[in-house]
Structure 1
Amino acid sequence: MDAIPVPAHLPQAPRRLRSRRFAPLEPVAARTRWLLGVGFFVLFVLVWAGFTLGGLVSPTFLASPATMAREGWLLFTEYNFLHDIGMTVWRVFGGFLLASVIAVPLGIAMGAYKGVEAFFEPFVSFCRYLPASAFIPLLILWAGIGEMQKILVIFIGSFFQVVLMVAVTVGSARRDLVEAAYTLGASDSGVVRRVLVPGAAPGIAESLRLVLGWAWTYVIVAELIGSSSGIGHMITDSQALLNTGQIIFGIIVIGIIGLVSDFAFKAINRRLFAWSSI
């Protein structure tokens, strides 16, 4: 039997031999992903070095990579920068964990029970748009300039975000699974414990990972005012001395710590929820 001819105006089937490396949504190999990611950082440093070492930017406004590395070494060897890093990490995780312990159960309740959501959601949505930095003067009056004030800044910045993200994740559960659980004799609390929470757990973990990244921005703001230690305090002191090398090094350290914590969060999520696509 002769083959049926394909009309010329119809699109031809894609050739399997054609490379699909840059096709939309086409995954890349893990090794390629790492090479591309590292390649961007290398390109960024080269451009940075070109502008600073080439004399296009004054060292007063932007230190070169070599100067930044030298100032970073001085921070560790002469100014006890490890202590500042430790204090900042403690503040971030202290405020974030405190917010998560309270926000996750409240978010689950809001997502599972529409009455609870109707009661809390307007206030939580209102507070979500308030910048955490705006509370710093009040928190200094209420808690002083000690550790509690900085932890509360991170708590305020993280709490309302986590509540709404968890509520949305739990509330988007599949209705057919809920109805199936009721058909099998599950109680209301059983549906929450056995259907809603397990189904939303990967999404909740991913929401916590995202909010942890935001917590780093809040701690630096908290440390810029009334602080005697921490990375933000070091950046403020360096700004007064016009030491852009130390400022840039402090910013890079924050990025590295955040990147490491993000990778660790992802690894834990993949291990806990291997069955999920997250």
Structure 2
Amino acid sequence: MTTPEPAPREYSYLKPSVFWSIRQGFPRWLSLLLVGLALIVPLLLWMAISSLKLVPPMFLPTPASVIDAGIKMFTDENLIVDVLASSTRVLAGFVVAGIIGVPIGLAMGTFYSLDSLFAPIVGTVRYMPVTAFVPLIVIWLGLEEPSKILIIMLGVVLYNAIMVADAVKFIPNEMINVAYTLGATRRDVVFKVIIPAAFPSVLDTLRVNISGAWNFLVIAELVASQNGLGFKIIQAQRFLQTDKVLFCIALIGIIGLVIDYGLKWSFQQLTPWADQIRH
């Protein structure tokens, strides 16, 4: 008696998709279209709500009135001075945070001993709100620029350390073992294997965390500032000048976007091999 042959197995093939493709390339025109929609649709909603006065103009002015307020701030209130002041504070705080945070992260990710030493401190302090330290910072450093720079630095430095440490821990052990097999010393492994391998992730960490520096700008400029975009926002808020508040917020977003794309382009030039791996 012969056994019946099993029915042929039916295979289901994944249907091709442009929109839902997973890391398989994406048309440039469609990418630009989606970027445009992401920017234009919220703007149209804002224009419709404000023009129809569904919300009082005091709370939601029209885009045109926000732009007019911004032009007046540049011409009559010398807003460019505030832009330069805020940018200088953010840059100074972020550079200090990088100088401190990146070496700590490299040390934590490389050596178990230093991870055990720094992890309890970093893990505990990063949950403490920076605003709680403002009174102490004023007592320690006064009301001058160092106190503002320190606030921005504290808001970013621990995240730099943690993210860099995680990047180092993801380096395959095989790379380190091969280096030892070829006769490398511990110093060689650190400076010729770990740091070059982690370098692209360190740059990405800095690019991501610079947004945190801008987020802490308003807190920093609460400390007896006489200029800066955060100072302008607080001053306009007191007089219910919502159009000025919205313009300063949008201006910070535009500056941050320019910085982000600038850093992304710079990092692609510095680490082209990493960009190829990601794609």
Q: What is the TM-score of this pair, normalised by structure 1?
A: 0.93
CA contact (8 A) 1:133 1:218 kept: no
Q: Distance in 1 between matches of 2:17 and 2:109?
A: 44
1:194-205 mapped onto 2 (5 Å cutoff):
194-205=192-203
Q: Which moved more, 1:26-35 or 1:182-191?
A: 26-35
- Residue 39 of structure 1 is matched in structure 2 by 37
CA contact (8 A) 2:73 2:79 kept: yes
RMSD, matched Cα = 1.7
- State yes or no: 1:221 paired with 2:219: yes
2:183 aligns with one of 178, 182, 185: 185
Q: Distance in 1 between matches of 2:45 and 2:231?
A: 29
Q: Which amino acid aligns with 1:272?
A: L
1:93-132 mapped onto 2 (5 Å cutoff):
93-132=91-130
Deviations 1:114-168 (A, max 9, x none): 1011111110111111122221111111111211111000111111111111111
2:160 aligns with one of 142, 146, 162: 162
- Residue 148 of structure 1 is matched in structure 2 by 146
| Gapped regions of structure 1 (runs ≥ 5) | none
Shift of 1:188: 0.5
Deviations 1:194-238 (A, max 9, x none): 111111111111111111111111112211342111001101111
- Residue 80 of structure 2 is matched in structure 1 by 82
Shift of 1:5: 8.0
Q: Distance in 1 between matches of 2:169 and 2:21?
A: 34
1:40-79 mapped onto 2 (5 Å cutoff):
40-79=38-77
Q: Distance in 2 between matches of 1:207 and 1:94?
A: 17
Shift of 1:23: 3.4
1:247-266 mapped onto 2 (5 Å cutoff):
247-266=245-264
Q: Distance in 1 between matches of 2:58 and 2:64?
A: 14
Deviations 1:19-48 (A, max 9, x none): 433334443233432331122211111100
- Residue 13 of structure 2 is matched in structure 1 by 13
CA contact (8 A) 2:18 2:26 kept: no
- Residue 239 of structure 2 is matched in structure 1 by 241
Identity %: 33
Q: Distance in 1 between matches of 2:169 and 2:12?
A: 43
CA contact (8 A) 2:148 2:223 kept: no
| Gapped regions of structure 2 (runs ≥ 5) | 1-5
CA contact (8 A) 1:76 1:82 kept: yes
- State yes or no: 1:137 paired with 2:156: no
Partner of 2:82: helix, strand, or coil?
Answer: helix
Q: Which amino acid aligns with 2:93?
A: G
Shift of 1:268: 1.1
Q: Distance in 1 between matches of 2:180 and 2:22?
A: 41
Q: Distance in 2 between matches of 1:159 and 1:6?
A: 61
- Residue 28 of structure 2 is matched in structure 1 by 30
Partner of 1:275: helix, strand, or coil?
Answer: helix
Q: Distance in 2 between matches of 1:14 and 1:173?
A: 33
CA contact (8 A) 1:162 1:211 kept: yes
